[in-house]
Every structure is written in C-alpha cells, then in structure tokens.
Amino acid sequence: MEKTLPPIPVKRYFTIGEVAELCGVKPHVLRYWEQEFTQLRPMKRRGNRRYYQHHEVLMIRRIRDLLYDQGFTISGARNKLQEFNQSERDRRKAGGPNGGGEVLVDGVEATDIDPEEWEAATQGATAAVQPIVTTIDAAPWRQLRRELFEIRELLVTGH
C-alpha cells in the first residue's frame, strides 16, 4: 500500500480536509484516531471545526505508516508511539542529537523542520520569498519558538 504522500505546505493550521489529503486518509478516520491516540489533539474552533498544526500532521503520517504500511493494530501502534516518545525524551535527557532541551508538544517533538522536508514544502514558494527564508538567523527564532511552546503548555495544563 506504498503511496507517496504530497509535501506538507508551510502554513500554521490545516483543516481536517487538508490533513486527510496530505495523509491519504478520510476525515472520519482522523476523527476516530483522535479517540484512539491521546497525543493527537487538534485545536477546535467554532462549530467544533478542527485545525491541525504541522507536528500533528507528521504524527498522523506516522500513525498511518504504523497501521497501513507496517501492519500494526491500533493498540500496537499506540504502544509503538509511546515507546518512540519515551525514547526521544530519554535521548534528550541524555543530551543526544539536537543538543537536548527541545520541547515535546502533544507527544511530538517541537524541533525545526527537517531540511529535506523544508525544501519539498517550499518548492512552490515564490522567488521573492525564498531568499528571505534562507537569510534569517535561526537561533533567535528557535529560542522564541521554545518559549511559545512552553507558554502553550502552561495554558493547556493550567499551571
């Protein structure tokens, strides 16, 4: 069932229909997976409309791969995701790649986009945008991003 998925566009939020197309599953499957995988929590707005962020789209692709391509059951995929997330936390605590200290958000690491994925996602960007993207010093933005994720976590947990 090897199906090439389209690149994920560079944008903040995705509707359930967009995510369904990006991940090769139907919207009702995404709603079902929300019940089965606690790490998957899209933001909901008026009328219970779901809005997914980039890290959630990546998680859905990971879930899809586990279920459809690797043949895991829902329970097995859930356990595999938990194992993966725990090993990532352990690796960060031990100061593994990425220098440690990256923030986990909803069970998915909040790291910078993979360079290959970034290139694929920006293929359709206009020539005027690409030079700006490549000249920005990433260090201050990474720090700001970490702080925003920490603030988000505080707001979600209420602590």
Q: What angle do CA 147, 19, 56 make, to 5 degrees?
A: 30
Domain 14-157's class? mainly alpha
Whether 120 shows a pLDDT value over 60: the answer reads no
Whether 100 shows a pLDDT value over 70: the answer reads no
Q: What angle do CA 16, 38, 91 make, to 5 degrees?
A: 110
What percent of the chain is modeled with pLDDT above 70?
A: 69
Whether 139 shows a pLDDT value over 80: the answer reads no
Question: pLDDT tens digits for 30-89?
Answer: 999 999 998 899 999 988 899 999 999 999 999 999 999 999 999 999 999 888 888 888
How many whole angstroms separate alpha carbon 78 and alpha carbon 141? 32
Domains of the chain, by residue range, sit at 14-157
pLDDT at residue 27, rounded to an integer:
96
